[in-house]
Every structure is written in structure tokens, then in C-alpha cells.
Amino acid sequence: KQEVTQIPAALSVPEGENLVLNCSFTDSAIYNLQWFRQDPGKGLTSLLLIQSSQREQTSGRLNASLDKSSGRSTLYIAASQPGDSATYLCAVRWGKLQFGAGTQVVVTP
């Protein structure tokens, strides 16, 4: 069964610390993996897309890695800010897009 897991479900860090968010998936035969941000009551904002052939993607303070053999992706957010507080969702495409339950992040001033 193809599943996506995100641990921890919630995370709180002081401002300035680096954030490390984990995503694991059960089947390595993926097309791509995408990280999203969701603010309360809002839709999803795409952060990074990593194709199956890629090992990482970077955008500003964000860096996402992909290790298909171990079924893992990690999203790094450098020098966190209170504005980074949100829920971060990992989604894996095996044909259809399948989502993890998300990690709720709170960055305290």
C-alpha cells in the first residue's frame, strides 16, 4: 500500500532556529514529490517540487532533499521566522498525488 507519513505532527521552535521537517513514503517508484504550505483555513501553496530523478531542490531559505531508496524527503527551512508558522504538507505522486497528514509548525518570537 502506498502511504505518506509525516513525523512529528507538530513542532515548535524559537525564531532563528533551522527547521527540519520529515516525510517518508512506502513505495520508491514515485514520479515526483512536492512540499506545500497551508495556512489555517486556506488552500495550499506549492513550495518545492522534486522530480524522481533529482536529489534536491532549493528556493531561498528552503531546501528539500529526496532519497528514493530510503523512501524519505526532508524539508529544511533556514533561520526560521514567525511568518513560517503554518502546516507543511508533503505529497508524493504515484500517478495520483497522495498527501501526508502534515506537520504543524509554530515559530515563536
Among 21, 24, 25, 34, contact with other proteins (rule: CB under 8 A): 34
Query: Do 99 and 44 contact (CB within 8 A), yes or no?
Result: no
**Among 109, 57, 59, which residue's Cα sits nearest to residue 80?**
109
Query: In whole angstroms, how close is the CB of 55 to other proteins at the nearest point?
Result: 16
Please calculate the CA angle 40-47-77 and round it to the nearest 5 degrees: 85
Task: Count residues binding other proteins (CB under 8 A).
Answer: 25
* Residue closer to other proteins (CB basis): 79 or 101: 101
Please calculate the CA angle 34-39-43 and round it to the nearest 5 degrees: 65
Provide the 8-state DSSP code for 17. S
The verdict on 96 binding other proteins (CB under 8 A) reads yes
Query: Do 10 and 103 contact (CB within 8 A), yes or no?
Result: yes
Contact range with other proteins by CB under 8 A, out of 13-21, 61-69, 75-83, 89-97? 89-97
Restricted to residues 43-62, the positions that interact with other proteins (CB under 8 A) are: 43-46, 49, 51-52
Residues that bind other proteins (CB under 8 A): 4, 31-32, 34, 36, 41-46, 49, 51-52, 89, 91, 93, 95-102
